[in-house]
Structure 1
Amino acid sequence: MLYGAIEAGGTKFVCAIGDKSLNIKERVSFPTTVPEETMQQVIDFFTPYKDELSAIGIGSFGPIDIHKDSTTYGYITTTPKLAWQNFDFVGTLKKSFDVPVEWTTDVNAAAYGEYSFGKGKGLSSVIYYTVGTGIGGGAIQEDRFVEGFSHPEMGHMLITPHPEDEFKGNCPFHGSCLEGMAAGPAIEARTGKKGQDIPADDPLWEKEAYYIAQCAYNTTLLFSPDVIIFGGGVMKQRHMVEKVHQAFEKMLNNYVQTPNIKDYIVTPALEDDAGIFGCLALARQVNLNSKR
């Protein structure tokens, strides 16, 4: 019994095969190009395991159609990656592999990885954000993703600009939303540098922490989760967590009592592996559900 995992990112795909205990047996990554080329690489990777493959978990860049009664369920829909617009991801995969498939967003998959193996293990309510090229969020409550007519787009919540920040934001839809003010491209647009090239004592990071703290503040009052996990390239700046803690506590002003701040607003235990382990865990879960 083997499980397949596909972390389909806008820049690269990561595919893995895991055993029944979700130990990774083989793993590969390749650039995201066009569907015909990239999906053939996916199929080629899994084909040697076809007879043993029990289920596949997919976490994909989006937006995606998550409703199983929809005629476009399993599609990537209105993505800015033009070649992938309205692409039938799940249908294409099922032509080669007749196994149960779990289909969700890449950030939901990362959330599920931390919920299953990382900082969310043993907790009932987990929120995960990735802060990198874009900002996305996933929420889990009692082993279920929080979703409605679609998956959440928490990275586009509106926030208040820092008093000393004159940057107007670069989100093409909302300008100064969270992603428009705090994602990697917003940092580069302000400074002309990538985040990893900016010193820890640069005043930029106080502004960045102010925005991430607003995200945590809004999340706290909306969901009262057990933990808020911030992953992604921007949060690899280790000094950021303490800055976010300080800004968050000032904003919240003791209005509600959260868990201990060092256990409440955290970075992922699995780091860059949260997504691929989340996909494996989702594959195992959909396989179990298919047998009930």
Structure 2
Amino acid sequence: MNKSKITVGVDIGGTNTVFGFIKENGNYLFSNSIPTQAHEDVHTFITRLAHEIKNSFKQYADNYILTGIGIAAPSANNFQGTIDTPSNIKWGKVNFVTLIKKYFQIPIAITNDANAAALGEYEFGLGKGLKNFIVITLGTGLGSGIIISGNLLYSEGGLAGEFGHTIVKPNGRLCNCHRRGCLETYASANGICRTVLDLIARYNEPSELQNIPFTQMTGEIINDLALKGDHIAVKAFQYTGKILGKALANLATSFVPEAIILFGGLSGSGELLLKPTRFHFEKNLLNIHKGKVKIFKSSIENGMAAVLGASSLVNKKINNHVMGININNNIEKNN
């Protein structure tokens, strides 16, 4: 019997790592997640991940063959196969592809998590049919994947699009990148938790959030309380949307995309975040672009955009095809 081909897409986040078995048509056969444990040694993490993938694949081995692994990770360099000192994971710089090849002797590709999400949206989500759009990932941190003329934007070193580390508040909150005022310290799952602490200190309004230790606070908890009308939780989303909307207006001025797609845990809050973000985006957008750039929440279910994109990336590698633009050398490889 001929076995069907599948690839593994892996999305490494600061809190959780999601992986899935993806069919050739882009449908996923299976998905699961493990805690990333960001302070854990990278070798221990890779051992855990490989073990989970191999164990999960056993039930499909009679009918499917695993042809490649695509990995999405913060600060990943698709040219070098490395993850380079991610802000929210304490690995330093590691050659991730070399390390995981000790467990799998099949093609492996890696890219920045936001780039993978952009590729996933381009092929399977709201980006289908668009040539110019930006994906913003709102997880533990904040990332961006930029599609220009139907191609992913890279740089000479492969690390273009670190939008989360643009400074929006000079001398503001300390970031894990060791600078102050980065966008992701305000507009991310961690950022909104820090905003809640600031608001609790500033206002005397009663809030259930006052009883939750910071180490136990999550974006989901803040979301649930905001839906119940908790004033501090509502204010936290309003402030986050204001910061994010202004920053996106600046980004749109540079790239003038057709759309900006929000992806990741915090985007799951829907209109709680989208409404203030859209308002402040439009308010601060250059006049000639007003009303022309739309902001959407990703439509790909279960937050699988980066997993699908990572799977697509390794398929392109298997087929000896690369999608990207090198902005320094102006090298374009079309799909």
Q: Report the TM range for the smaller structure's normalisation.
A: 0.7 to 0.9
Cα distance in structure 2, aligned partners of 1:246 and 1:42: 41
Equivalent residue number for residue 91 of structure 1? 98
User: What TM-score, normalized by structure 1, do the two folds share?
Assistant: 0.83
Return the letter of the residue paired with 1:118. G
Equivalent residue number for residue 299 of structure 2? 269
Question: Which digits, 9 at most, give the CA deviation of each residue in 1:90-115, with x for residues without a partner?
Answer: 01222333333221011211121111
Equivalent residue number for residue 246 of structure 2? 214
Return the letter of the residue paired with 2:184. E
The structural deviation recorded for 1:127 is 0.6
Q: 1:182 aligns with which of 176, 184, 187?
A: 187
- The SS at the match of 2:193 is helix
Q: CA-atom RMSD, angstroms?
A: 2.8
Equivalent residue number for residue 260 of structure 2? 228
Unaligned runs of 5+ in 1: 68-72, 162-166
Equivalent residue number for residue 278 of structure 1? 309
TM-aligned CA distance change 1:157 to 1:99, over 3 Å:
same
- Count of aligned positions: 277
- The SS at the match of 1:55 is strand
- The SS at the match of 1:203 is helix
Confirm or deny: 8 A CA contact 2:282 2:290 kept in the other structure: no
Question: Which digits, 9 at most, give the CA deviation of each residue in 1:252-274, with x for residues without a partner?
Answer: 26332553x5xx11110015111
Q: 1:41 aligns with which of 48, 54, 76?
A: 48
Cα distance in structure 2, aligned partners of 1:88 and 1:125: 31
Cα distance in structure 1, aligned partners of 2:85 and 2:28: 32
Question: Which digits, 9 at most, give the CA deviation of each residue in 1:53-95, with x for residues without a partner?
Answer: 222211013x23333xxxxx21222235676223221012223
Confirm or deny: 8 A CA contact 2:88 2:141 kept in the other structure: no
Question: Which digits, 9 at most, give the CA deviation of each residue in 1:145-198, with x for residues without a partner?
Answer: 21113322101222268xxxxx94242533222112232323222323443254
- The SS at the match of 1:285 is helix
Confirm or deny: 8 A CA contact 1:139 1:145 kept in the other structure: yes
Equivalent residue number for residue 150 of structure 1? 158
- Report the identity percentage: 27
- After TM superposition, the structure 1 = structure 2 runs for residues 70-149 of structure 1, keeping only pairs within 5 Å, are 73-80=80-87, 84-148=91-155, 149=157
The structural deviation recorded for 1:231 is 2.0
Q: 2:223 aligns with which of 187, 190, 196?
A: 196
Unaligned runs of 5+ in 2: 198-208, 210-217, 323-335
TM-aligned CA distance change 1:232 to 1:59, over 3 Å:
same
Confirm or deny: 8 A CA contact 1:3 1:22 kept in the other structure: no
The structural deviation recorded for 1:290 is 6.0
- The SS at the match of 1:234 is helix
Equivalent residue number for residue 22 of structure 2? 18
The structural deviation recorded for 1:223 is 0.7
Confirm or deny: 8 A CA contact 1:168 1:181 kept in the other structure: no
TM-aligned CA distance change 1:9 to 1:133, over 3 Å:
closer
